[in-house]
Chains A and B, each alone.
Chain A
């Protein structure tokens, strides 16, 4: 029974131990297993408690009551299970099983530890694998992304290369083409296959440029990129066209060594051509600007000078460099010619109106040195392509000379017109005076012969002389005043006239006549009157005394210096005073007839001087400055040196004629007067009204065997044949007739050269009987004398 009980107990305990062993393996951790096992061991017979030695000891217990079972396997010690026994003998039956259980537990724990280690290794490995896998995945993804990106970039670069507007060309160290893009192929006219490996310089660079460009390449090859990184050079296409390319060159490096060049080039042919065209246009513009005869100034919109051409420099006195950037008002100083008030700045006016502006007349430019010039100018806005005003161009010219010449022309035209009018009146008046004069003379002679008093008639003749002088002056001024010219020595004439005019005055004279002063072919009387008039005016301008300078010299007149003068040699007489001067506003009018500033002046003095000089194909001008005086200059054509036959005059009272005489005049009172003159001289006189009658009379006289010895013929017959037409017919019948041309129009060429028209001499109306007698005497009796042309004369008639 006891054995059976012990056996039964033993089997049950063993079953428990087996169950503990089986169940322990399900517990999750070592602590749970050991505590589970220890609790289970406490159910073993003879056991009081079971504990792991690390948890607490049993130091106070006797060793006989303690069993120690190590849980140790594979070098791993999990501690000892200390079993406190209540009945050691009973426990001894189970001790081997307990030991076996705990060994199994140790194996299980070791296995679990190993498994945990293995799991840990596995997890670590898996973790590493996972990490590495993830890393590799990421790396692969990154590499693939990088490859894809690189591929995309390569494709994009290739696309860029192909669509680039620039030439991209890569050369090796020998200058052979390694890479060239589509643009380069298109421009050169080759395919890429044709270009690759070709010598770039031989193929694409013009022969003339080849050496220089290759030198540039060599510089790049030795690392000198600084000087050649950017450069322009031409290429030549397959078709021979030269294109201009702007290059950017970079060396290709491989491990620090230069393996070639990579160049990008932009076709700048069009730009280059445009630049060349622009430069040429600019050059043309510059040349044009410099060649323009007008002054040109351009400004910006602030009125600052940008460009001046040489004419503008000369007129303003400022150089381009000095003027650039300065205000136009500083450079271009303009005032009104008469008032001297400042003119409006033309730039301001142009910018305000935005239109072309013509400046007012009478504008005077004051140069930097104070010189004043009359100018005409205009201003215009400078516009850009969009029509915006970007500046102003000012064009101006010196019209001082033009204005002076214009004034001369205007004055001449004005005086001509007045002369025509005055001449007509004077001629008629002269004829009337001639009649009055003649009959008064006859009346006086009759009174003398009858012993009657003639004082009243003498007074009448004195007044008449003044009237005739005025009429002559008017006729001289007018068309009818044609001078009767001879060679005149101006040195003598001017000297004599000056001394005569200044006699008794309080004015000193500075007379300086150059030896070169040429003789002139002139009417000495008229020139005398001109000089006399100018000197007397000068004396009157200096009532309190002063100095008159009379200078004479030769002058060479060039083209257009004076519009009224032809080119050539002239005698110049200058008469200057230091009087008050003539105001500028009346200066243009001083040569007008009847214009005078004197209380008792006729207003014909300067007008006559002007007319006389003009009729001598000369010119008279005046320069005057208020407070400083005036200067009159006379230009007369120098005479051609020649020998001239001059007839010396004889006393008219000595002439007594005989034979028949013809008088032709349309005025009855003049026919009667001239009949009486000639009858007094002993001629038998036939009077006719016109040329036809004169021819008939000549024919009749010739037929009668008593042809006319003398003929006094009027040149102008209103409504009938004049003397010019009749003279040849008269001479045909009366070949030996002394024919005198008579006319109130002294500018008729017949009057200056009567022989050329078939006349013997000429005589200006009105004339006195003595003058006629003297002329007839000279023509019929006096010998012809030859005199030097330079000798001064005062002829009243002239023959050759």
Chain B
């Protein structure tokens, strides 16, 4: 296990910083753990002037506005300025009613390009995969998508955090999720994931 010590990106909810373009898995059990990670990640991104996006079904606007106000930020201003993009997960992942890894990868690439174009010092995205993925057309391509994200991030270094609810997925699924994320959050620390299988090996497997 390797602790990432090189200063790069402050996730806001973990003790260690990660290099830009890190793909991090956050397995949580308690909603408070999820919300804390999500809000801290957004706040730190915006305070770093990074282009920030959030795709979660568990974050309502009023909570977000209150949180922003508590941090000296304006949700409406950040939105209007294009610094912050917020949407529910299904609208992003299951647009048109099915899961399309290519479209998602395209969106991710474009998000990065926009951030560069807008001269943001970085770009970060946090999203929570819906358990509905197993029932959605194209859902079986989730791990393919996650594996290809690792490849994309090498060229479009967006710091990406994927939140998974341990109560909503079975253990085998969680293990599979871990195998496609090179980094993971463990007890508040970001660690290199020894279970990670590089995209080449994973695709071959």
Residues of A within 8 A of B (CB): 12, 15-16, 18-20, 22-24, 26-29, 31-40, 43
Contact = CB atoms under 8 A, between A and B. Distances in A.
Given A26-B166, A35-B171, 12 more contacts: A15-B194, A16-B195, A19-B186, A19-B193, A20-B175, A20-B195, A28-B167, A29-B167, A32-B174, A33-B171, A39-B172, A43-B195
Interface in B146-205: 166-167, 169-172, 174-176, 178-179, 184, 186-187, 191, 193-195
Given A23-B186, A26-B29, A35 B172 contact: yes
Given A28-B166, A32-B170, A35-B171, A19 B27 contact: no
A31 B170 contact: yes
B27 A23 contact: yes
B187 A22 contact: yes
A37 B27 contact: no
B27 A12 contact: no
Contacts of B184: 19, 23
B1 interface: yes
13 contacts: A12-B194, A19-B1, A19-B191, A20-B175, A22-B186, A22-B187, A24-B171, A26-B27, A27-B166, A32-B171, A36-B174, A36-B175, A39-B175
B194 A16 contact: yes
A767 B58 CA distance: 169
Interface of B: 1, 27-29, 166-167, 169-172, 174-176, 178-179, 184, 186-187, 191, 193-195
A529 B98 CA distance: 165
Question: Which 6 pairs between the two chains have the least Cβ-Cβ distance?
Answer: A36-B171, A35-B171, A39-B175, A15-B194, A32-B171, A39-B172
A36 B29 CA distance: 15
A15 B172 CA distance: 18
A707 to B, nearest CB: 174
B1 A28 contact: no
Given A12-B194, A19-B194, A32-B166, A27 B171 contact: yes
Nearest to A12: B194
User: B-side binding surface: helix, strand, loop or mixed?
Assistant: mixed
A37 B178 CA distance: 12
A794 to B, nearest CB: 158
Given A26-B166, A28-B167, A32-B166, A19 B172 contact: no
Contact of B195 (A19, A26, A33): A19
A27 B166 CA distance: 6
Contacts of A23: 27, 174, 178, 184, 186
User: A-side binding surface: helix, strand, loop or mixed?
Assistant: helix
Which of B167, B170, B187 gathers the greatest number of chain A CB atoms within 10 Å?
A: B170
Contacts of A33: 171
Contact of A18 (B1, B171, B172): B1
B29 to A, nearest CB: 6
Given A19-B195, A36-B171, A37-B171, A28 B178 contact: no
Contacts of A28: 29, 166-167
Contacts of A37: 171
Contacts of A38: 171-172
Contacts of B179: 43
B170 A40 contact: no
Given A19-B194, A34-B171, A39 B176 contact: yes
Nearest to B169: A32
A12 B1 CA distance: 9
A39 B29 CA distance: 20
B78 to A, nearest CB: 32
Which of B27, B166, B167, B186 gathers the greatest number of chain A CB atoms within 10 Å?
A: B166
Which of A34, A35, A38 gathers the greatest number of chain B CB atoms within 10 Å?
A: A35
A27 B171 CA distance: 7
A12 to B, nearest CB: 6
Contact of B175 (A18, A31, A40): A40
Nearest to A35: B171
B146 to A, nearest CB: 16
Nearest to B176: A39
B195 A31 contact: no
A112 to B, nearest CB: 12
A32 B191 CA distance: 22
B202 to A, nearest CB: 12
Contacts of A18: 1, 194
Contacts of B194: 12, 15-16, 18-19
B187 A40 contact: no
Contacts of B171: 24, 27, 31-39
A43 B171 CA distance: 14
Nearest to A19: B194
A33 B166 CA distance: 10
A36 B172 contact: yes
A26 B27 CA distance: 8
A20 B194 CA distance: 9
Nearest to A11: B194
Nearest to A24: B171
B166 A40 contact: no
Contacts of B170: 31-32, 35-36
A22 B194 CA distance: 12
A38 B1 CA distance: 21
Which of A22, A27, A33 gathers the greatest number of chain B CB atoms within 10 Å?
A: A27
B167 to A, nearest CB: 4
A35 B171 CA distance: 5
A35 to B, nearest CB: 3
Contacts of A15: 1, 194
Contacts of B195: 16, 19-20, 40, 43
